[in-house]
Structure 1
Amino acid sequence: MARLREFAGRFRPAGVPGAAAPAAVPADRRACREAELEPVFAALAKTARTCSDLREQAEKDARELKRQAGERCEAILADARSRTAAERADALAVAQGRVLAEHKALLDEARRTAHDIGERARSRLPHLVERALDRIRALGAEP
């Protein structure tokens, strides 16, 4: 670390204004600054290496996490694809069951309606036959 005298020396002018004085050599300010900051930069070099190592480790960890996530994603997709056929078959069975139930209900309703129509026809048939016979007899009685 620079002493107070060296620190203050940086602010000394190289020469006094006015006539030229005997040849005096100005202080090498750049060398003084470099010497003063060298320990700071040396301490920062260790920190910079630590940061670089941490960044490399973080990138490595990120690549590993990304790889693991990709594997999990592939496993989930493979499981979903394998279950697709079974899910479709189940959905088809449910849909077919509904269609068959609706078909059976319609068929039962049609049978009941046909039975009701048959019953009404059977109950009306004797009356209609009697009317038809009456008309035929009436035709035969006419001159």
Structure 2
Amino acid sequence: MARLSILDRFRPVGTPGAAGPAGVPAADDQGRAAELAPVFAALAGDVAACEALVAEARLSAEGDVARARAEAAAIVARARLDAEAARVRAAARIEQDASERDAQLLEQARQEAATLEKTGLARIPAVVGEVIDNLLTPQSAEQS
């Protein structure tokens, strides 16, 4: 017994009915526009609804853009004010730091001056004695 292929089930057969003339269907005299007119007429309501949605979306988008621009302008203005305040605070902090450094330097200079004054006062008797000795030494040499 011959084995049948699975494709043998799909043998080509003719179409039912009597054979007709072969060829391309005759062209419609009214053309595609007449054929599609009922389809477009059925879609007219949907097209109008879509146009209304698009118009509404445009208005909404314009409002959103206007609000976003106003908010951005407010943020920029606030940032400028904050930046100016930050500059003022930074300048005050720098000035305060400089004042503190100046005060430290002044205190250090006062301490150094006090130390020099004490050292100088402590050396006065020795210097006075040396000056007197120097003044008297030439006179002693001249008298001898």
1:11 aligns with 2:24: yes
Percent of aligned pairs with the same amino acid: 29
Report SS of the residue matched to 1:142: helix
Distance 1:32 1:90 in 2: 81
Report SS of the residue matched to 1:58: helix
Tell me whether 106-115 or 33-42 shows the greater mean CA deviation. Answer: 33-42
Show the counterpart of 2:115.
Answer: 116
Q: Which structure 2 residues correspond to residues 24-35 of structure 1 after superposition, within 5 A?
A: 29-31=28-30, 33-35=32-34
Map of 2:11 onto structure 1: none
Higher RCO by CA contacts (8 Å cutoff, separation 6 or greater):
1
Deviates more, 1:42-51 or 1:58-67: 42-51
Residue 74 of structure 2 is matched in structure 1 by 75
Matched, 1:94 2:93: yes
> What letter matches 2:137 in structure 1?
A
Q: Aligned partners of 2:60, 2:31: CA distance in 1, in Å?
A: 44
Q: How far did 1:43 drift?
A: 2.9
Q: State the match for 1:129 in structure 2.
A: 128
- Is 1:46 aligned to residue 59 of structure 2? no
Residue 122 of structure 1 deviates from its aligned partner by 1.5
CA distance change for structure 1 residues 32 and 79 in 2, over 3 Å: closer, same or farther?
closer
C-alpha displacement of 1:31: 1.6
User: 1:138 & 1:44 partners in 2: Cα distance?
Assistant: 132
CA shift, 1:60, in A, is 0.7
Alpha carbons of 1:142 and 1:49: their partners in 2 closer, same or farther (altered >3 Å)?
same
Shift of 1:64: 0.6
* Structure 1 stretches lacking a partner, 5+ long: 1-9, 13-26
Cα deviation code 1:53-96 (max 9, x no counterpart): 22111111110101111221232234345555544443332222
How far is the alpha carbon of 1:136 from its aligned partner?
1.8
